[in-house]
Structure 1
Amino acid sequence: MKKIVVKFGGSNLRQPQDIDRIINVIQTYQRPLVLVVSAFYGITNALITCVQNAKEGAGTKAALLESQSYTHQLRQMKRQIIEANVATAADRDRIEKALAVRIDQLDRYLTGIHCIGDVPTFVNDAILSYGERLSSLLLTEVLLTHGIQAREALPEDIGLITDGVFGNAACDFEASTASVARALDGDEIIIVPGFYGVDKEGKATLFGRGGSDYSAASIACCIGAESLDVWKDVDGFLSADPGSVSAPRSISQLNYLEAAELSYFGAKILHPRTVEPLFNQDIPIRILNITKPERGLQAYTVINAQRKVTKDVVKSVTSTEDVAILKLHGPGVGFKAGILAQVTNALDRHGINIKSVLTAQTAINILLARDHLDAAYAIVAEHHLAGVVEVSRNTEVAIVAVVGDGVLEASDIGSAIASRALSAAIASGVRVCLAAAGASEVAAYMLVHQDDRKLALQAVHTEFFGV
């Protein structure tokens, strides 16, 4: 029997009592599973801050005490979770000692930063992986105390090998598949920490922020899983963010491309790369809501290879403010050969990802994540590119996108989907900066003034869904 890979994210791990919900879900399956877990909510952010503070205060007693204070808080937090979920004193003591070993490892990494005054990339990735390492160990031990046969399997032990890129790695499936499949064979519940794999030398390499979804998908691919079940605290993918529009509709089915584009353009249900390992495997992703136990294992949204243009074409309208524009100005930049290649190569060398590029005769607009903008600006500005008379940056923008198979085709009333979306936004007074269609088979988007993001989302959603 094929196994199911089950992913529990940080939204499922906020409070000590959340462990009870996870146990109930596991028992509902009544079969062997591979669980992939994230860090408890907020832990990764705290570790990032801790690393930065340790680096900036390297060598000072105050910074060292701050690091030690955080690991002490971490011990207390884990102790509270153990006390809330483990009945006997002997079991609580045993689990606390096991967790203490890992927290001591983390403490040594942080102390090392103070000694050397720097954070090598492999050290940074190792430190940030500890949120997941603590979750997997804790959950394994709690399951055992509840009479559930379980074992932990770390990426370094199962051979989840990456391409070795620190901070934003990809799984090396050729190197991983056989070893992962062997290691995860068995009739028990196997818990794997998400977010990281290891390079061929055994060093932890992160799969990028939010990369536990990608971890789970990679493992599902390696073992040929029946499905990847992702448990959230929301009703799957919706036609829009419920915090921005009234009465959004639930989406029962998406194809891999639609889910990838929705995630890329701001839907926070999945990491954008989650579908990547499953695309050619026809392994469905099922989105379930852990706060709705009455539904059992009935998914809200199923993501698979099935492609179908629905009557309404648009399945969802999504948006994000995590975007900025780096603009290269010049009377011939759109014509002069080599400018774009020089820019993209320079940004790539510094690990800066480009979201999209829109060109004209007098300008090249490069869309980036907002926190990459200043670094990208400095890189491009120092190159003094021929033909570029000015480099500017704009953070006061947001993306609004419509997603659905058929968005590039004509709708049943004869108006192009992208045109309808743009017209609806403009008619509502939205300040549109740029618009693009054609780059994707299933998505079209516009850049609007940041203050108009919610207005644009509401106007476009009303255009296609009537609410």
Structure 2
Amino acid sequence: MKKIVVKFGGSNLRQPQDIDRVVNVVQTYNRPLVLVVSAFYGITNALIGCVQAAKEGAGTKAALAESRNYTLTLRALKKEIVEANIQDAAHRERTEKALGERLDQLDRFLTGIHCIGDVPTFVNDAILSYGERLSSLLLTEVLLSRGIAAREALPEDIGLITDGVFGNSACDFEASTASVAKALEGNEVIVVPGFYGVDREGKTTLFGRGGSDYSAASIACCIGAESLDVWKDVDGFLSADPGTVTTPRSISQLNYLEAAELSYFGAKILHPRTVEPLFNQDIPIRILNITRPDRGLQPYTIINAQRKVTKDVVKSVTSTEDVAILKLHGPGVGFKPGILAQVTNTLDQNGINIKSVLTAQTAINILLARDHLDAAYAALKEHHLAGVVDVSRNDEVAIVAVVGDGVLEASDVGSAIASRALSAAIASGVRVTLAAAGASEVAAYMLVHQEDRKKALQAVHAEFFGG
């Protein structure tokens, strides 16, 4: 029988009592599973802050004390969780000892930063993986305490090999598939920490922020899983963010491309790369809500290879403020050969990812993640590209996108989908900076002033869904 890979994110792990919900879900399946778990909510952000503080205050007693205080706080939190979820005293003591050993490892890494005054990339990735390492150990012991056959399997032990890119790696499936499939055989529940793998030398490399989804998808690919079940605290994918739109509709089915674009353009249900490992194997992703136990194992949204243009075409409207524009100005930059190649090469050398590029005769607009803007601006200003007379930047923008199979081909009452979206935004007073269609066959998007994002989302959603 094929196994199901089940992923629990940090939103499922906020309070000690949340462990009960996870255990109840595992019991509902009543079959062997592979569980992939994230860090408890907020732990990874705290570790990032701890690394930064240690780096900035390297060598000072105050910074060293701050790092040790954080590990003490983590020890207290884990002890609280253990006491709330494991009743047997001997088992509780054994679990606390094992967690203490991992926290000792973390403490040694943080102390090492103070000694060398720097944070090597491999050390940074190792430190940030400890949130997941603690979650997987803790959940395994809780499952055992409830009489559920379970074991922990670390990525370094199962051979989840990456391409070796620190901070944003990808799974090396050729190197991983056989070892992962063999290591995850068995009739018990196997708990794997998400977010990281190891390179061929055994060093920890992260799959990027939110990368536990990608971890789970990679493992599902390696073992040929029946499905990847992702448990959230929301009702799957919706036609818009319920915090912005009053009555969004639930989306029961998406194809892989639609889900990828929705995630890319701001929907926070899945990591944008989650569908990559599953696409060719047609392994479905099922989105379930852990706060709705009455539904059992019935998903809110299923993502698979089925491509279907619906009557309404647009399935969802999404948005994000994690975008900025870097603009290259010059009378012939859109025509002069080689400029774009130089730009992409320069940004790649600086570890900066390009979201999209829109060109004209006198300007090249490069869309980036907001926190990459300053580094990209500095790199291109320093490079002095021939034909570029000025480089400007703008971080006061947001993306609003419409997603649905057939967005580019379909028409409704003679109006193209992208045109309707743009017209609805402009009619509501939204200031549109750029608009694009054609880069994806299932999505079209516009850049608007950041303060107009909600207004634009509401106007475009009303155009296609009413209200």
Please classify the TM superposition score into its range, dividing by the shorter chain length: over 0.9
In the TM superposition, residue 79 of structure 1 has moved relative to its aligned partner by 0.6
In the TM superposition, residue 438 of structure 1 has moved relative to its aligned partner by 0.4
* 1:362 corresponding residue in structure 2: 362
Write the mapping of 1:121-136 to structure 2, written as runs, cut at 5 A: 121-136=121-136
* 1:41 corresponding residue in structure 2: 41
* 1:159 corresponding residue in structure 2: 159
Cα shift readout 1:229-263 (whole Å, capped 9, x = no counterpart): 00000000000000000110000000000000000
Cα shift readout 1:158-199 (whole Å, capped 9, x = no counterpart): 000000000000000000000000000000000000000000
* 2:231 corresponding residue in structure 1: 231
**433-442 or 409-418: which moved more?**
409-418
**Maintained 8 Å contact 2:418/2:437:** yes
* 2:269 corresponding residue in structure 1: 269
Cα shift readout 1:372-411 (whole Å, capped 9, x = no counterpart): 0000000000001111111000000000000000000132
- Quick one: distance in 1 between partners of 2:451 and 2:136? 41
**Maintained 8 Å contact 2:329/2:389:** yes
Cα shift readout 1:268-321 (whole Å, capped 9, x = no counterpart): 000000000001000000000000000000000000000000000000000000
* 1:255 corresponding residue in structure 2: 255
Write the mapping of 1:294-443 to structure 2, written as runs, cut at 5 A: 294-443=294-443
- Opposite residue 28 of structure 2, the aligned amino acid is T
SS in 2 for 1:312: coil
SS in 1 for 2:411: coil
* 2:84 corresponding residue in structure 1: 84
**Maintained 8 Å contact 2:313/2:410:** no
- Opposite residue 380 of structure 1, the aligned amino acid is L
* 2:293 corresponding residue in structure 1: 293
* 2:55 corresponding residue in structure 1: 55
In the TM superposition, residue 88 of structure 1 has moved relative to its aligned partner by 2.0
**Maintained 8 Å contact 2:370/2:395:** yes
* 2:25 corresponding residue in structure 1: 25
- Quick one: distance in 1 between partners of 2:52 and 2:336? 41
- Quick one: distance in 2 between partners of 1:361 and 1:248? 40
- Quick one: distance in 2 between partners of 1:163 and 1:458? 41
- Quick one: distance in 2 between partners of 1:404 and 1:384? 41
* 2:4 corresponding residue in structure 1: 4
- Opposite residue 331 of structure 2, the aligned amino acid is P
* 1:111 corresponding residue in structure 2: 111
- Quick one: distance in 1 between partners of 2:348 and 2:363? 20
- Quick one: distance in 2 between partners of 1:260 and 1:13? 25
- Opposite residue 124 of structure 2, the aligned amino acid is N
- Quick one: distance in 2 between partners of 1:301 and 1:180? 28
SS in 1 for 2:351: coil
In the TM superposition, residue 414 of structure 1 has moved relative to its aligned partner by 1.8
Cα shift readout 1:176-233 (whole Å, capped 9, x = no counterpart): 0000000000000000000000000000000001000000000000000000000000
- Quick one: distance in 1 between partners of 2:279 and 2:352? 25
SS in 2 for 1:358: strand
Cα shift readout 1:25-59 (whole Å, capped 9, x = no counterpart): 00000100000000000000000000010011000
- Opposite residue 316 of structure 1, the aligned amino acid is S
**406-415 or 205-214: which moved more?**
406-415
- Quick one: distance in 2 between partners of 1:396 and 1:350? 23
- Quick one: distance in 1 between partners of 2:151 and 2:351? 36
TM-score (norm 2): 1.00
Write the mapping of 1:87-106 to structure 2, written as runs, cut at 5 A: 87-106=87-106
Taking only the aligned residue pairs, the percentage that are identical comes to 87
Write the mapping of 1:447-466 to structure 2, written as runs, cut at 5 A: 447-466=447-466
- Quick one: distance in 2 between partners of 1:247 and 1:90? 51
- Quick one: distance in 2 between partners of 1:346 and 1:209? 23
- Quick one: distance in 2 between partners of 1:315 and 1:410? 13
- Quick one: distance in 1 between partners of 2:37 and 2:313? 35
In the TM superposition, residue 86 of structure 1 has moved relative to its aligned partner by 0.9
In the TM superposition, residue 93 of structure 1 has moved relative to its aligned partner by 1.1
**311-320 or 87-96: which moved more?**
87-96
SS in 1 for 2:439: coil
- Opposite residue 80 of structure 1, the aligned amino acid is E
- Quick one: distance in 2 between partners of 1:105 and 1:425? 53
SS in 1 for 2:170: coil
* 1:219 corresponding residue in structure 2: 219
Cα shift readout 1:311-348 (whole Å, capped 9, x = no counterpart): 00000000000000000011111111111110100111
- Quick one: distance in 2 between partners of 1:432 and 1:466? 22
SS in 2 for 1:438: strand
SS in 2 for 1:337: coil
- Opposite residue 183 of structure 2, the aligned amino acid is A
SS in 1 for 2:391: strand
Structure 1 outlier segments of 4+, above 3 Å: none
In the TM superposition, residue 437 of structure 1 has moved relative to its aligned partner by 0.1
SS in 2 for 1:430: coil
- Opposite residue 374 of structure 1, the aligned amino acid is D
- Quick one: distance in 2 between partners of 1:306 and 1:410? 18
* 1:446 corresponding residue in structure 2: 446
Cα shift readout 1:39-89 (whole Å, capped 9, x = no counterpart): 000000000000010011000000000000000000000011011111122
- Quick one: distance in 1 between partners of 2:213 and 2:296? 21
- Quick one: distance in 1 between partners of 2:359 and 2:84? 57
- Quick one: distance in 1 between partners of 2:126 and 2:391? 37
SS in 2 for 1:277: helix
* 1:191 corresponding residue in structure 2: 191
- Quick one: distance in 2 between partners of 1:90 and 1:247? 51
- Quick one: distance in 1 between partners of 2:192 and 2:413? 50
Structure 1: stretches of 5+ with no match in the other structure: none
- Opposite residue 88 of structure 2, the aligned amino acid is T
In the TM superposition, residue 449 of structure 1 has moved relative to its aligned partner by 0.2
